[in-house]
Structure 1
Amino acid sequence: MKLMLHILIRQVTRYAVAVARKNKRAVKKRVVLTDPRAIRALAHPARQRIIDELYGGKVLTATECAELAGLTPSATSYHLRALSRWGIIERADTSADGRERPWRAPAQSLVISSQSAGSGRLASQAMMRTNVNRLIEQFEELSGDDPWDELSMMSRSRLWLTKAEAEKLGNELTEVIDRYRRTRTATSHPAGTRQVSTLLAVVPVGKPPEET
């Protein structure tokens, strides 16, 4: 009886730990990169393509990532390990056939800190260009007779803001996206939904004002 009770307690404990880990991961919303070396790890176009899919909610094996990026499996494995080293991606549970352990995003979104400088800042800019180019491609791929075509939009504005107001604007825009993202992923979303790409940018222009 004591042995059975001990086994039962151990099984319940393991289950509780597993649930706690799962819930802990679900709470994590963002991976924020501040180290220039971690940001430089994003500079390669193939890595950005993989990151885009994983942070969109997909769970992919190295083989699937290789097909996505148009690289050999060995080259792709190198890129995956580099991204994993900085906590940008992580291993998921073992695949159904047990032969290849897939990869996933450890959070809902990836954020590059504005505090990064030097080569890290250049890598950040390169990633921005890639994202803009990808968005333009998606505009061009959208068929003219697509019933959702009229919903596509891009807005550009010039605002005069204080530093505090610009920071508030960025936070508010991010909160709006987070509200619609919720827990929806490529593998878990309501019927009738469709993937929609968004790109937020808040960029100071010119020189900073002189302090008085």
Structure 2
Amino acid sequence: MPTSRTTARTELRIEDPRALRALAHPARQRIISELYAGETLTATEAAKLVGLTPSATSYHLRALEKWGVAVRDAPGDDGRERPWRSAADSITVLPTAHRRAGLDASRTSVHAWLGDLEDGLERLTASVAQGREQGMTSRGRLWLTPDEERQLRERLGEAVADLRGRTRRDHPAGATPYDVFALILPADES
């Protein structure tokens, strides 16, 4: 059974457009997904996930460290590789980073993230085709004031935060991993 976190939740807020560009690399996106899901990974473990050599993966981990996204734990007494973990509980790229990075860099970053969403939708389709009743998609339109939109974002974040902290090494018996995507997108008003 996982231990419950009693510390305050932290959020890494990306404002620098150079950080946004650095995060857009597909291997880094995959590593970020794992680290911010609560996993702790060595460069060798991360390399297996992204299909690169441990050396190339170390380069990407150091780039994430440069932008404050990942941190290295102290090496153990056994001299093995040092594990990497997220620098915060969650990561948010602010609209200012997207604006200042420019349309092309912003689009590249968003499309890297959407690739993970497309992969997840493929897994959901396969799961449903096999008769499983897990996972969901939902779509609708809400007319919200700016304050209501902010409140909705906060409430969704709180619901997800309540279940964070579980990892592949530390989760309740019978738990399976789910990727959770929350999108609140401006609609076409025409």
**Which among 23, 41, 64 is matched to residue 83 of structure 1?**
64
Which protein has the bigger helix share?
1
TM-score (ref. length: structure 2): 0.82
Structure-1 residue corresponding to 2:168: 186
Describe the superposition over 1:69-128 as per-residue Cα deviations: whole angstroms up to 9, x where unpaired: 112333222211111011100002324631311211122221111232132665454343
Give the secondary-structure state (helix, strand or coil) at the position aligned to 2:12. strand
- Is contact 1:56–1:186 with CA below 8 Å preserved after alignment? no
Rounded to whole Å, the distance in 2 between the matches of 1:123 and 1:150 is 38
Q: How many residues align?
A: 181
**Which among 52, 56, 59 is matched to residue 71 of structure 1?**
52
Structure-2 residue corresponding to 1:115: 96
Rounded to whole Å, the distance in 2 between the matches of 1:83 and 1:121 is 22
**Which among 156, 181, 184 is matched to residue 199 of structure 1?**
181
1:134 matches 2:116: yes
Structure-1 residue corresponding to 2:130: 145
Instruction: Give the residue type in structure 1 aligned to 2:135.
Output: S
RMSD: 2.5
- Is contact 2:25–2:112 with CA below 8 Å preserved after alignment? no
Rounded to whole Å, the distance in 1 between the matches of 2:43 and 2:82 is 8
Instruction: Give the residue type in structure 2 aligned to 1:113.
Output: L
Structure 1: 5+ residue runs without aligned partners? Answer: 1-22, 208-212
1:162 matches 2:112: no
**Which among 142, 163, 173 is matched to residue 156 of structure 2?**
173
TM-score (ref. length: structure 1): 0.74
Larger Rg: 1
